Amino acid sequence: GHVVHNWKVRWFVLLQDKLLYYKLEGGKKEPSPKGRILLDGCTITCPCLEYENRPLLIKLKTKTNTDYFLECCSREERDSWALDITGAIHAGHPVQVQELHRMKNSFKLLANISLHHIVDKMHDSSTGIKLTPNMEQGNRYKETFSGSALVDWLISNSFAVSRFEAVTLASMLMEENFIKPVGARSIEATRYSDLSEQFLDDSTALYMFAESYKKKISSKEDLQFNISELSGTIVKQGYLVKQGHKRKNWKVRRFVLRADPAFLHYYDPTKEENRPVGGFSLRGCLVSALEDNGVPTGVKGNVQGNLFKIITKNDIHYYIQASSKAERAQWIEAIKPLT
């Protein structure tokens, strides 16, 4: 409410240019709307974390600077309303609406992402993620946060633009031992090898900071690369998921494709130094897409879809997963001329 800041149930109807809300009497909406929110010039914030005990909020600010706080019944409903309201706000701009729907399941993390920076922000006493005590199967955990709370926090702090992207980012934080699962629900999920299934965007899945979140720089970072192989022109770069050579686990890496000389390097996004953790010459390499039906030979874990393989002239096999068939095709097309 605007005068008395209490919360009331209202029936909402979304039209092309406005949001109407009605009072409910006896379980039925009254014939005339109680009020309306004009969407022209509105800005929307979702998730809105201004109320600590209300994680399912959408905030609408009109062009006359009036704030509306709307609470939904579930995360799914909140995100569905937010998507449709945003579509109505941009209805006169079909390109923006198409971009909005594309972003809903996007996989385009920031190029200069630093997990150390994200974790430091998460620890901030005023703007960081809220920690709460929880009981799980008789065990008491002092400072935990839910999977959905972390996803909301990552989006509201502009580290991700969609829940899909935030889950990928949270999976990276867990994979690199910045956070860890606690309790049966979240620990069970880590049995999956597929990166997209390890972290749960769920209010019942609990996580906490790992004690070693400020890991010391490991000795493997001392790998030296010839300056000449890093001097080529950057042809393409982006985030892909790569299978490790020893443990056969899957980790997100930032790949950089260079020409003249032709090299493919990959970087650990958890490290602040802009130094590759691996790379190889593309001269004499073979690159090919892998079948999407089932787990291909050589691939460990429950990882399927959008995979491709690079075999170096020394017969070293690299298994890599893109976020979509289109992205896989783009990488293969960019690599082939350089082999």
Tens of pLDDT, residue by residue over 201-238, are 888 899 999 875 544 434 343 345 566 777 788 899 98
227-336: CATH topology: PH-domain like (2.30.29)
279: enclosing H helix or E strand: strand 278-281
**Phi, psi dihedral angles at 282 (to 5 degrees):** -90, -5
Residue 225 C-alpha from the chain's centroid: 31
Question: Is 29 buried (19+), middle (13-18) or exposed (0-12) by CB count in 10 A?
Answer: middle
* Structure tokens belonging to residue 239: 């985030």
Of 62, 60, 45, the residue nearest 12 (C-alpha): 60
Distance CA(6)–CA(111), nearest Å, equals: 43
Distance CA(190)–CA(193), nearest Å, equals: 7
- Give the 3-state secondary structure of 228-258: HHHCCEEEEEEEEEEECCCCCCEEEEEEEEE
Q: How far is CA 78 from CA 47, 68, 231, 296, in A?
A: 8, 14, 47, 38
Distance CA(27)–CA(275), nearest Å, equals: 62
Of 112, 123, 103, the residue nearest 165 (C-alpha): 103
Cα atoms in the Cβ-side hemisphere of radius 13 Å centred on 22: 14
Q: What is the largest CA-CA distance in the chain?
A: 76
Other Cβ atoms less than 10 A from the Cβ of 56: the count is 21
Domain 115-218 matches domain 227-336 at the CATH topology level? no
For the entire predicted model, the pTM comes to 0.48
pLDDT value at residue 106? 47
pLDDT value at residue 110? 52
Q: Is there a contact between 75 and 56 (Cβ–Cβ < 8 Å)?
A: yes
What are the domain boundaries of the chain?
A: 10-104, 115-218, 227-336
Architecture of domain 115-218: Orthogonal Bundle (1.10)
Distance CA(90)–CA(85), nearest Å, equals: 9
pLDDT value at residue 98? 57
Architecture of domain 10-104: Roll (2.30)
Dihedral angle over CA of 151, 152, 155, 156, nearest 10? -150
Residues of the chain with pLDDT under 70: 92-113, 136-138, 191-197, 212-227, 272-273
pLDDT value at residue 265? 92
pLDDT value at residue 214? 46
Cα atoms in the Cβ-side hemisphere of radius 13 Å centred on 126: 0
